A and B are shown apart, each in its own frame.
Chain A
């Protein structure tokens, strides 16, 4: 998976010029996100055209912060390129794109990025890293996750996430050791925070939609009532199982580490005790005590496994579980409804 589009410092600088009145850390953090219908359609279109299967598409979000809400008014896709065209300059492309948009008087401020997902699997190291660099450069930036599969089932699924301030701190320090994470008191639940989304359309569009609603037949909405669930569930379970396996492995690793550590601690203790005994004996015999030795050199602590990945996996597992829960509850509702209908008709 390739990294998301790069946050551009230059744009941030230009934004600062334009909004010089705002202090650098936002006093009132963004509480909701307002997305233009255009952005949603553009994202969906992007995936339809380029994404397939488990491949993801990514792009740049443009917009503005207005009081406590972030307005995303436009976006542009990030072109997919293979490893072999090396001379493709991503930054250059983004710059060009934004400059062109500015020329046609569109919001050109970088406020985040979007990414499609496959059955809700997006919590990964790559996402973390790129979102971190975004938030590091542009504080209010978010990542929009678009789930095409759910959308295809009839309910638009678009979610905005950003890293919590705690996670930002840890990422800044790059300390992913067990102790570091413990000190930071971070768990998988508080790694990402979801920001509520509001989709806003102009009145004209709303009118059009209402008009369309009138015209659309019942059959168009059948998708929403589809009762078959096993396929989706199976896929989700499969993915969940893979993650659980990964988790298991990580725990195994951590377990051996812990065991090694405690074993070494014991050895260290024993060594120190022996040493002390000997020293007391020597003292009683009137000999000088043994010279101090560097214990840390003798007992090198075993390499601690980085725990960040485990956290991410846990987050992902949580995500899957949420998805499945949501899906099943919806489906149960549908099933009950179908049952009632059947009872009624018969």
Chain B
């Protein structure tokens, strides 16, 4: 086929399709000046016709119901009509209240009054109907008050015109033909409605009404049409000037678009605001093209900028642009598209620019719509809107984006780069609010700032603490070392919140973040004190899940911090709750556990997904587990050795025992591979008091790369660990093998465990004082002399048996008591002693 043919057919089909859309009569339209105007008309008419058709349909059913005196149906339909009328409010505002609507209202009221008067008829009515009648009557009376003038005028006309029906008729016939000639598009529906009612009622009065209506309608429409034409001309002119671009007309329901600024002669703030409200009314409605709306708002801001309408309006429009950007996704779970996100960031930035430049703009969510001052005047601008909410929402959107990006992709890194911008915006807003906002707002923005700070390790501060790290700093380092220390910032912000905040939640979050930050930077005592002073552990279970997740994260970080500081017991205690459940992943909000659908339906899963912490804030789970297991090992192995024969020995850590059992169950034990296997192997070595093997299992290449290198101060931690292993191995050794020694030289011990003599001395002394080791120190020879007073296993066993038998006897006696009736007397004893 030739190209020409193809194009030709294209244009043809286009034409025919557009012609199809309107009524077939349209071929004879009088003002088909150009295509643009034509489509405009089409767009304008569609909603109008649609709405009015809906109304007339309902009215028709009401009239039918009136005829058969079905009041309940009447009431029902009336309510529907009322709703439909509200929906078409925008059109009504423009077009005025449609005549047929007024007509129905008036008729209905008359009809109801008539029924009301008719006492006998009312008695005959069934209960439902009677009830409906009274409610409907009340309703319509109330409702009609709004349309009093219209109804009055209608009635007047009705009265006067009954006499001159014939006259009207001929007049109307003329006008009708006129209508037909020049207004095909909109005339048809009103004619239709008229025709219908004509069919329904044969009464002369209503006939007259129809005619009258038509007559009036015709006149009104003609007047309108003129306006319309004017508008179009304006539009065309403007479009040619290139003042603003007209958006593509492919979207049929956004009727405002082509009509931006009807009277283009003067664009003042009032007009723009009106336009703005018009656009916003479409917001949230079904079928509104949200993308187009955003475009429209952008265009509007451009116009207001051009016409220098003042910052007030601009701010207002910006607010709405951002709001509609957020609205773009109706689904709460979906996240913003990258381009939308970029746009959003830009908009907020611009908005902040404006706010910073102009000191005379007051914004606030409590400024009522009508007290806004947007026009340029001496008074400062007053704009309704809350920038804080917008920024908070932006932050949430950012989290959502991060949650929904694959953390192992380049995309994630790219997205993460935006974090800087987000932080920048929050910082700027913080400055703004510090000067202008209320305390409450300041607290909120502070919390945002804290939330973006607490989990980041401050390498710069860390480096300052390490004097031996010298050398050429790169440029980036220089750059980094400028600016405030994050600890100081955290301190300042959190303290402000502690002092000023009145909502518990913000304070709780701030405390937790503060603790987390302390813990992250190895300020263990501050972190612990803050945790203990806040008494959060007592009542955290009442908090909402996100706060609980934050709490869990904080506890974990606290535990890891304690571990680094060598407080093994504290570390173990802090981590116990999280690790013992076996759901650490879930508790930290770092992923969902696989569970069957019975426990969690799709809805819950969605909620849980929304709570997940973004990947860049994750705490390494393997590190966590390793820290926990190693601290459990350091506690448990000596304890096990000390209480080997104790029947009532409690487990310090169930999880650790579980791992040990798993290790024992292996049929063939190879060299350890995973972190857990390493710990298990090390535990076994420690059980024998073999610290060297234990050490080599805990600290080696594999474990270094897996776990220990993740700490900022790796070297210190490793040294601490070695020392702990030596000490605990010594203790274990003494517990296990003290029975085979009569005496043992401390020097030998210190050689065996490569500990200094004083340390060995202190450890053994501690054990003796705690009555863990039955021995005494012989100072001159530096030896430990065993007392050998510990019971043998057989003696232990006998003791246990004796205890058990005691219990048995007790139980037996209880049975005996029951038989003897002493037990029954037991209850009476209380009453006997009372008087």
Binding site for B on A (CB under 8 A): 230, 233-234, 237-238, 240-241, 244-245, 247-248, 251-252, 254-255, 258-259, 262
Q: Mark B791-813, 1 if CB is under 8 A from A, else 0.
A: 01110011011001101100110
A234, B794: Cβ atoms closer than 8 Å:
yes
Asked if A237 and B798 make an inter-chain contact with CB atoms under 8 angstroms apart, the answer reads yes
Residues in B neighbouring A233, C-beta threshold 8 A: 794
Asked whether, in the complex, the Cβ of B801 is within 8 Å of the Cβ of A240, the reply is yes
Asked whether B801 lies within 8 Å of A241 as measured between CB atoms, the reply is yes
Bound-state Cα–Cα, A239 to B111, Å? 100
Q: Is residue B818 contacting chain A, with contact meaning CB distance below 8 A?
A: yes
The answer to whether B794 touches A262, judged by C-beta atoms less than 8 angstroms apart, is: no
CA gap between A245 and B815 in the complex, in Å: 17
**Contact B804 A237, beta carbon cutoff 8 Å:** no
Q: In the assembled complex, which residues on chain A have CB atoms less than 8 Å from the CB atom of B823?
A: 259, 262
Give A302 Cβ to nearest chain B Cβ, in Å: 14
A237-B797, A255-B814 are known contacts; what are 20 more A-B pairs with Cβ within 8 Å? Answer: A230-B792, A230-B793, A234-B793, A234-B794, A241-B801, A244-B801, A244-B804, A244-B808, A245-B804, A247-B808, A248-B804, A248-B808, A251-B808, A252-B811, A254-B815, A255-B811, A255-B818, A258-B815, A258-B819, A262-B823
Who on chain A is nearest to B647 by CB?
A241
Contacts of B824 in A (CB 8 A): 262
- Secondary structure at the B interface, as helix, strand, loop or mixed, is helix
Return B794 CB to nearest CB of chain A, in Å.
5
State the CA gap A237–B804 with chains docked (Å). Answer: 12
B827 to chain A, nearest CB (A): 10
A-B contact pairs, 8 of them (CB 8 A): A230-B792, A234-B797, A237-B798, A237-B801, A244-B804, A244-B805, A252-B811, A255-B818
Distance in Å: Cβ of B246 to nearest Cβ of chain A:
86
Q: How far is the CB of B828 from chain A (nearest CB, A)?
A: 12
Distance of A292 from chain B, by nearest CB (Å): 28
Q: Which residues of the other chain, B, contact A251 by a CB distance below 8 angstroms?
A: 808, 811-812, 815
Chain A hits for B793, CB < 8 A: 230, 234
The residues of B that contact A255 with a CB separation of less than 8 Å are 811, 814-815, 818
Complex Cα distance A234/B815, Å?
A: 31
B807 lies within 8 A of A238 (CB): no
B82 CB, min distance to chain A CBs, angstroms: 64
CB distance from B831 to the nearest CB of A (A): 15
A238 vs B794: C-alpha distance when bound (angstroms): 10
- List the A side residues contacting B798 at CB < 8 Å: 237
B814 touches A238 (CB 8 A): no
Chain B's closest residue to A254 (CB) is B815
**Set A230, A241, A252, A254: member contacting B800, Cβ < 8 A:** A241
Q: Across the interface, which residues of A come within 8 angstroms of B811, CB to CB?
A: 248, 251-252, 255
Q: How far is the CA of A255 from the CA of B811 in the complex (A)?
A: 8
Most buried by B among A233, A234, A238: A234
Please state if B818 and A259 are interface contacts (CB–CB under 8 Å): yes
Q: How far apart are the CA atoms of A240 and B794 in the complex, in Å?
A: 13
A51 to chain B, nearest CB (A): 25
Report how far A254 CA is from B815 CA in the complex, Å.
8
The smallest beta-carbon distance between B460 and chain A, in angstroms, is: 63
Residue in contact with A258 in the complex, picked from B794, B808, B818, CB distance below 8 Å: B818
Complex Cα gap A245–B806 (Å): 11
Q: Which 10 A-B pairs have the closest CB atoms?
A: A251-B811, A237-B797, A230-B794, A258-B818, A244-B804, A248-B808, A255-B815, A241-B801, A234-B794, A255-B814
Q: Closest residue to A250 on the B side, CB-wise?
A: B811
Instruction: Give the shortest distance, in Å, between B431 (CB) and chain A (any CB).
Output: 71
Task: Pick the residue among A234, A240, A248, A258 that contacts B807 (CB under 8 A).
Answer: A248
Q: Which residue of A lies closest to B821 (CB)?
A: A262
Contacts of B800 in A (CB 8 A): 241
Task: Tell me the smallest distance from the CB of B186 to a CB of chain A, in Å.
Answer: 84
Q: Which residues of chain B have C-beta atoms less than 8 A from A259's C-beta? A: 818, 823
Q: Which B residues are CB-close (under 8 A) to A234?
A: 793-794, 797
Assembled-state Cα–Cα distance A255/B798 (Å): 27
Residue interface mask B502-529, A partner, CB < 8 A = 1: 0000000000000000000000000000
Using CB atoms, name the residue of chain A closest to B812: A251
In the complex, what distance in Å separates the CA atom of A241 from the CA atom of B793?
14
Contact partners of A258 in chain B: CB under 8 A:
815, 818-819
**How many angstroms between the C-alpha atoms of A238 and B798 in the bound complex?**
9
Distance between A164 CB and nearest chain B CB, rounded to angstroms: 24
Which residue of B has the minimal Cβ distance to A237?
B797
By a CB distance below 8 angstroms, the chain B residues around A238 are 797
Q: Chain B nearest CB: distance from A40 CB in Å?
A: 32
Cα–Cα distance between A81 and B676 once the two chains are bound (Å): 41
CB distance from B816 to the nearest CB of A (A): 10
Residues of A within 8 A of B805 (CB): 244
User: Looking at the complex, which one of B792, B794, B797, B819 makes contact with A241 (CB distance below 8 Å)?
Assistant: B797
What are the residues of chain B within 8 A of A244 when measuring CB–CB?
A: 801, 804-805, 808
The docked-state distance in angstroms from the alpha carbon of A252 to that of B807 is: 11
Which B residue's beta carbon lies closest to that of A233?
B794
Least CB separation from B808: chain A residue: A248
Residues of A within 8 A of B801 (CB): 237, 240-241, 244
When chains A and B are docked, how far (Å) is the Cα of A248 from the Cα of B803?
12
Bound-state Cα–Cα, A254 to B813, Å: 12
A136 to B189, CA, bound (A): 106
With CB as the reference atom, state the residue of chain A lying closest to B804: A244
The residues of A that contact B814 with a CB separation of less than 8 Å are 255
B768 to chain A, nearest CB (A): 27
Interface centre among A240, A244, A245 (most CB of B within 10 A): A244
Q: Which residue of B lies closest to A236 (CB)?
A: B797
Q: Which residue of A lies closest to B800 (CB)?
A: A241
Q: Determine the chain B residues whose CB is within 8 A of the CB of A237 once the complex forms.
A: 794, 797-798, 801
Q: How far is the CB of A163 from chain B (nearest CB, A)?
A: 26
Scan residues 539-562 of chain B and give those whose CB is less than 8 A from a CB of chain A: none
Q: A258–B817 Cα gap in the complex (Å)?
A: 11
Report B-chain residues with C-beta under 8 Å of the C-beta of A230.
792-794
Bound Cα distance from A154 to B807, whole angstroms? 37
Bound Cα distance from A259 to B793, whole angstroms: 39
Q: How far is the CB of B804 from chain A (nearest CB, A)?
A: 5
- A230–B791 Cα distance when bound, in Å, is 13
Q: How far, in angstroms, from A259 to B821 measured CA to CA in the complex?
A: 11
The reply to whether B818 and A262 form a contact with Cβ atoms under 8 Å apart is: yes
> A243 to chain B: closest CB distance in Å?
10
Instruction: Give chain A nearest CB distance to B817 CB in angstroms.
Output: 10
Closest to B795 in A: A230
Which residues of B (597-656) have their CB < 8 Å from a CB of A?
A: none
Kindly state the separation between the CA atoms of A240 and B800 in the bound complex, as whole angstroms.
11
Distance (whole angstroms) from the CB of B812 to the closest CB of chain A: 6
Residues of A within 8 A of B818 (CB): 255, 258-259, 262
Instruction: Assess whether B804 is in contact with A241, with CB atoms less than 8 Å apart.
Output: yes
Within the assembled complex, what's the spacing in Å between the Cα atoms of A90 and B127? 87
Kindly provide the distance from the CB of A204 to the nearest chain B CB, expressed in whole angstroms. Answer: 46
Instruction: Give the distance to chain A from B394, nearest Cβ to Cβ, in Å.
Output: 64
What residue in chain A is nearest B824 (Cβ atoms)? Answer: A262
B54 to A: closest C-beta gap in Å: 69
List residues of B (768-809) whose CB comes within 8 Å of A's CBs: 792-794, 797-798, 800-801, 804-805, 807-808
